[in-house]
Structure 1
């Protein structure tokens, strides 16, 4: 009797990856009806998502050599999809942005891609959809972390996501915020104290059904958190707050797991919309928010934390809702 060899998880992922590449049409010389190769499509998507980029930043995002990026951009400039402008901060580089033609092409790309995913989602249950969103995102993060040589399986293993209050969470969330924001933004004890007092007030309301807290634990120590406050914005809106990770777990997909729990909670509660406030420059976090359906709706300069920073408000709208409160830095308390 011949026994079929059991396929390992690694081989299953490799097989699924090959099938995804083929089903999405990436084996073909151009994507969909765009007439563009996949690298050009990705370039337009990334420039369009950020508004403007330098060639160096684009190359880092796409993981392409400088010469490959130069050839790619020259073709897109010549075809009229992107334009180059002088960089006021660095005369050695240029700022890239989409032209009107490029924005129209991006609309075609988004429509085509949305149709592909929507068609596939039609064959999945809600639970399967959430699994796909969280799983693919975590896998993509892990691939990037492995390419950069960050962490590893040991770094992400043994991390549990638990719901609700755990001893020490208020102090740890305040500590992680304080340590993370002090270097890039110069926030000090006033900011950390505000985070702690906000968390303490929120913890008194955790028993109410509109509020939720999820914590990443490793060996009993709080290593990350995210909260949904379903009361402070009013008007049936949810508020994503205190999303923060310990540096030891960054890039390992744990933050995505936390967000997946929070967003699933929001969907079950059927909030009119979910808002969060953050700071410009946190590109990894922004990409993660956008993966979960958040879009930038407001940007403004503020100095109430002791240094002038550009604050941003993002919104996720499962269905149309009214405009919410626009108080600064709501995500951080």
Structure 2
């Protein structure tokens, strides 16, 4: 990571989710808060972020953030629309899940919404199971906030 990368990732999340899902600017504020919390609680032995680059430009990202009780949270999984379908997302997810196995986290989970169907499909293929779904009115929409979890030892990304 270099100066400006976190700012660009916040920008990319804000723009793409507004364009693709109709999320309000409130979503971008949420992303700002999550990125603010990341360095504040950063543990270099546990927390990681991976960037996919093309011509010195960030085109994708994924992160793992350590949580209590030997869990890890998958965060900020995003691939620029121009590069979707190229396998970049699958490689990012595979890298993050392989890291979880190395670090011996017991479980990895992610929080998402029901409109992220492509990402949800990838998580399910890796072995994730829906553990909760709550209807919420946020980011200018009525959504189902979903939590998916998996035992790291059973994760499989092809």
Same fold (TM over 0.5): yes
Per the alignment, residue 25 of structure 2 pairs with: 189
SS of aligned partner of 1:180: helix
Per the alignment, residue 93 of structure 2 pairs with: 259
Once the two structures are TM-superposed, the CA of residue 293 in structure 1 deviates from its matched residue by 1.6
Alignment of 1:16-95 (within 5 A): none
SS of aligned partner of 1:275: strand
Give RMSD over aligned pairs. 1.9
Partner deviation per Cα, 1:76-111 (whole Å, 9 max, x = no partner): xxxxxxxxxxxxxxxxxxxxxxxxxxxxxxxxxxxx
Q: Does 1:278 align with 2:112?
A: yes
Q: Does 1:223 align with 2:59?
A: yes
Give the Cα separation in 2 of the matches to 1:282 and 1:191. Answer: 14
Partner deviation per Cα, 1:195-248 (whole Å, 9 max, x = no partner): 1232133135445211010000111111111000003xx111100000011111
Inter-CA distance 319–215: structure 2 relative to 1 (3 Å threshold)? closer
Once the two structures are TM-superposed, the CA of residue 263 in structure 1 deviates from its matched residue by 0.5
Per the alignment, residue 37 of structure 2 pairs with: 201
Q: Is the 8 A contact 1:176 1:245 kept in 2?
A: no
User: What TM-score does the superposition give when structure 1 sets the normalisation length?
Assistant: 0.43
Give the Cα separation in 2 of the matches to 1:272 and 1:260. Answer: 17
Q: Pick 1 or 2: higher relative contact order, CA cutoff 8 A, min separation 6.
A: 2
Once the two structures are TM-superposed, the CA of residue 182 in structure 1 deviates from its matched residue by 1.4
Alignment of 1:56-205 (within 5 A): 165-205=1-41
Once the two structures are TM-superposed, the CA of residue 276 in structure 1 deviates from its matched residue by 0.2
More strand by share: 2
SS of aligned partner of 1:293: coil
Give the Cα separation in 2 of the matches to 1:308 and 1:199. Answer: 24
Give the Cα separation in 1 of the matches to 2:20 and 2:52. Answer: 24
Q: Which runs of 5+ in 1 are unaligned?
A: 1-164, 321-333
SS of aligned partner of 1:203: helix
* 2:125 alignment partner, one of 291, 295, 319: 291
Give the Cα separation in 2 of the matches to 1:299 and 1:210. Answer: 28
More helix by share: 1
Q: Which runs of 5+ in 2 are unaligned?
A: none
Q: Is the 8 A contact 2:62 2:92 kept in 1?
A: yes
**Which has the higher mean CA deviation after the structures are superposed, 282-291 or 199-208?**
199-208
